[in-house]
Amino acid sequence: MLNPDDIHQQAEAERRKAGKRQRKSSRGARGKRFFPKAAESRSVFHQIYPHGPNFFIVFLLPMMLFITGLVLWYIDKRRFHILFPWIWALPAISLFTWLYYTLKELIEYRHYKTWRSDLGFTLHGWDELGQSPKFPKWKFWDRNTILSVHLKPSADTGTRNLVNDLLYLFTVKANKTFYAADQVQPGAAGDLRNKWQHSGELEVSGSANSSVAGQIYLLIDKQLREVQAKEKCIESVSVKFSKDILEIQAIQISD
């Protein structure tokens, strides 16, 4: 038999719990306040810069082999004495590899901090990076980013063809960064990202995450910089972000 007093007490207890959860949630939201970052900041660079080998290959695997070899040598020193030099070589190789890629990244970041100052042409739109808490990041994609190169009237047909070829090769590299998406996306079925392709003369477009932004950076800093140094033909480069952000989860493989 229902007791109104008991029901009321249970309901009030649940309301108090819900109120506490809501207060904790609001405090957590205030604690995660986002502060925009400069496009050349360390945090943005760390997101877009193509990193070195996989952490498992560089560190975990050598450490696992090191521990296994050490245990085998300890169990039977005579039988496994030949492993002794190699056992200690593994952590040394791992440490050297880590130091190499860390130093390489530090050198590249030093260049990245001022990379736009001597391009020889104007770069529009890059300052949008770091202005959103979700972009640039790996699983968050700007639905339709447009990359266009504006050449000077003096640029000849050969130069235009060269830039178009560089843009095409960029689309190939950018599309290779697309990971397999979970087909169950909020609000829609299937992959909502747009593959990169030519969308106009000296213009390509597609969806971009941090990995694609890194490819854009390499295209402009390495290849278009070289074209400009030789031909003096680039007026400006424009990167337009749609600011329509998609959260694309990678497909999960379950047992």
- The domain spans of the chain are 42-112, 122-180+191-247
Q: Cβ distance 249 to 139 under 8 Å?
A: yes
Q: What is the pLDDT of residue 67?
A: 73
pLDDT, tens digit, 9 for 90 and up, residues 112-136: 999 999 999 999 999 999 888 888 8
pLDDT band at 255 (very low <50, low <70, confident <90, very high): very low
pLDDT band at 253 (very low <50, low <70, confident <90, very high): very low
Whether omega for the bond prior to residue 91 falls within 30 degrees of 0, making it cis, is no
Evaluate if residue 233 carries a pLDDT over 70. yes
Closest CA to 45 of 119, 140, 99, 110: 110
Q: Cβ distance 144 to 229 under 8 Å?
A: no
Evaluate if residue 152 carries a pLDDT over 60. yes
Q: What is the pLDDT of residue 143?
A: 94
Task: Give the separation between CA 27 and CA 4, rounded to whole angstroms.
Answer: 35
Domain 122-180+191-247 in this protein, CATH class: alpha beta
Written as one string, the DSSP assignment of 198-224 is EEETTEEEEEE-HHHHHHHHHIIIIII
Q: Is the whole model's pTM more than 0.75, yes or no?
A: no
pLDDT, tens digit, 9 for 90 and up, residues 87-111: 666 677 777 777 887 888 889 999 9
Mean pLDDT to the nearest integer, 241-253 = 81
Provide the pairing of β-strand 188-189 with 197-200: unpaired
Mean pLDDT to the nearest integer, 33-62 = 76
Query: Which ranges of the chain would DSSP assign to H, the alpha helix?
Result: 4-31, 42-48, 55, 61-75, 84-112, 157-176, 210-218, 225-231
Q: What is the mean pLDDT of the chain?
A: 83
Closest CA to 191 of 147, 141, 241: 141
